[in-house]
């Protein structure tokens, strides 16, 4: 009899426990936090930045009366800023435009042959103060953060040529030249909104005319200038 009573009490207790467990709130199912993927890298947008590097120039002056010429190769510092915009198509192709203005300390000099300017010793000193380029560019993102590009367009520079005859300055041409430029480089987007680039450019500013007066004679002179630059720079991009 006792056994039957104990069994009955145990069954009743188990039933009560089951009912109490059924009334308890259920533990919520675990859900992993949502991970938002970072935005895809794009070159679309405008930017502003600065650059620094070297300028390597070649200049030539000609005594148009005798045909005597002098030329010089020089190098100097270049540095300034740039502003531009890019647009990236699906597939990685990028087009854009940029304006760059740099100051330069590029100077060079040379001595004319003995037959120039009536046989008097003459020296030409060439100087390039600044250059400005407005270019369009076409590139391809070989990797999302790396862009290879080619560019070309118009170029302007302020150059001067001082001609000294017998130790006395007799002539100077100083003007803003108009020419053209081509170049290319690589750009790396190393952080959101920030990119760095390395590029090389060639500029040709054509020929300009002037004159030197010495010994009562006027000698027509023409000058020609070209410039090559190697630059590194950084851009802040507005997306």
pLDDT, tens digit (0-9, with 9 covering 90-100), for 192-224: 999 999 999 999 998 877 766 665 566 677 778
pTM attached to this predicted model = 0.76
Please check whether residue 9 lies inside any domain of the structure. Answer: no
Closest CA to 63 of 166, 217, 212, 173: 212
Average pLDDT score over the chain: 82
Average pLDDT over residues 1-16: 52
Please check whether residue 21 lies inside any domain of the structure. Answer: no
Please check whether residue 22 lies inside any domain of the structure. Answer: no
Please check whether residue 27 lies inside any domain of the structure. Answer: no
pLDDT-based confidence at residue 172 (cuts at 50, 70, 90): low
Please check whether residue 114 lies inside any domain of the structure. Answer: yes
Closest CA to 104 of 196, 231, 234: 231
Q: Enumerate the β-bridge partners of residue 101.
A: 81, 132
Q: The tokens of 39 are what?
A: 């935005």
Q: Residue 134: which CATH number?
A: 2.40.160
Looking at per-residue confidence, does 144 or 115 come out higher? 144
Please check whether residue 67 lies inside any domain of the structure. Answer: yes
How many domains does the chain fold into?
A: 1
Please check whether residue 194 lies inside any domain of the structure. Answer: yes
Residue 1 has pLDDT above 80, yes or no: no
Q: The tokens of 178 are what?
A: 């108009």
What whole-number distance in Å separates Cα of residue 173 and Cα of residue 126? 10
The β-bridge relationship of strands 122-143 and 45-63 is unpaired
pLDDT-based confidence at residue 9 (cuts at 50, 70, 90): very low
102 near 51, Cβ under 8 Å? yes
What's the domain range around 148? 52-238
pLDDT, position 37: 55
Please check whether residue 3 lies inside any domain of the structure. Answer: no
């Amino acid at each position: 009899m006792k056994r039957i009573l104990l069994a009955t009490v145990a069954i009743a207790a188990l039933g009560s426990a089951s009912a109490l467990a059924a009334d308890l709130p259920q533990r919520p199912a675990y859900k992993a936090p949502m991970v938002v993927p970072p935005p895809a890298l794009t070159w679309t947008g405008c930017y502003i930045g600065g650059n620094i590097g070297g300028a390597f120039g070649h200049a030539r002056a000609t005594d148009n009366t005798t045909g005597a010429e002098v030329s010089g190769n020089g190098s100097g510092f270049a540095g300034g800023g740039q502003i531009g915009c890019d647009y990236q198509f699906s597939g990685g192709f990028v087009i854009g435009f940029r304006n760059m203005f740099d100051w330069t300390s590029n100077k060079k000099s040379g001595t004319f042959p003995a037959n120039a300017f009536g046989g008097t010793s003459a020296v030409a000193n060439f100087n390039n103060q600044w250059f400005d380029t407005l270019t369009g560019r076409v590139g391809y993102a070989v990797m999302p953060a790396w862009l290879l590009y080619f560019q070309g367009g118009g170029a302007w520079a302020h150059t001067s040529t001082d001609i000294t005859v017998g130790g006395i300055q007799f002539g100077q041409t100083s003007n803003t030249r108009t020419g053209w430029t081509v170049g290319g480089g690589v750009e790396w987007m190393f952080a959101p909104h920030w990119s760095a680039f390395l590029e090389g450019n060639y500029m040709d500013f054509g020929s300009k005319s002037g004159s030197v007066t010495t010994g009562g004679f006027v000698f027509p002179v023409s000058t020609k200038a070209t410039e090559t630059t190697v630059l590194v720079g950084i851009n802040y991009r507005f997306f």
